[in-house]
Structure 1
Amino acid sequence: MKLTELECRAGAPRLGAVELDDLLDALPEWALDGDAITREYRFADYYRTIAFVNALAWIAHQADHHPDLSVHYNRVVVRFGTHDAGGVTLNDLICAARCDALLEHAA
């Protein structure tokens, strides 16, 4: 089953290092950064950047799982980590995969 097909669950536990490494293989553009995963997305202009941010906000709202965002003219840095779990959970990976899927549908 694909990560995008899974549902976020409240109280998801922090993933162990081996499990996290295995699951990150499915998200090659994402990197572990301390207690979170991050990815930078680049766009042609500000309009496309903000359109992506708005779509991402809708996905985050639907999943009730929200990233930290750093928004710039032509790029967005997305950071998912679960504060309550003290690290990366399956919910973070599900939402990261859904972010990547936004670009697949836009192409």
Structure 2
Amino acid sequence: MSISITELAGAHCSHQTTALSEADIQSHLAALPEWQLDNGKLARRFDFKDYYQTLAFVNAIAWVIHAEDHHPELSVSYNRCGVKFDTHSVNEGRGGLSVNDFICAAKVDALFAQRAH
């Protein structure tokens, strides 16, 4: 069963204790073509014109992910922001990917699409 970016962006995070299967991960990745797997995390890099745009994006991400209570790893520099999601509570605390990671990635994509050029 495939899922769309619109469905993901419209969903909300909930407590997760079970990681997605590899098939489910691949299905969810298909909805988010700019994202990739990086050492077990869902990752994407966003490029900007300058530091102001980068920080504005980071602040927008912070507001959205705080509302979802699902926080990524961020790496921020002058004109780029790296975002990595994973879920620490799945796989009996060993971590992995859950639907929450894909929900938040879709929300971050929506923020990036709305930015001023």
2:25 to 20, 24, 36: 20
- Residues 33-72 of structure 1: CA deviation (Å, up to 9, x unaligned): 1221100000000000000000000011000000000000
Q: Does 1:44 align with 2:53?
A: no
2:103 to 75, 94, 97: 94
2:71 to 66, 76, 91: 66
TM-score relative to the length of structure 1: 0.95
Give the letter for the 2:85 counterpart.
F
Q: Which runs of 5 or more structure 1 residues have no equivalent in the other structure? A: none
Provide the residue aligned with 1:29 in structure 2: 34
Q: Measure how far apart 1:11 and its partner are.
A: 2.3
Percent of aligned pairs with the same residue?
Answer: 48
CA contact (8 A) 1:12 1:91 kept: no
Name the stretch that deviates more: 28-37 or 66-75: 28-37
Change (3 A) 1:93 1:12: farther
Q: Measure how far apart 1:12 and its partner are.
A: 4.6
Q: Which runs of 5 or more structure 2 residues have no equivalent in the other structure? A: 1-5
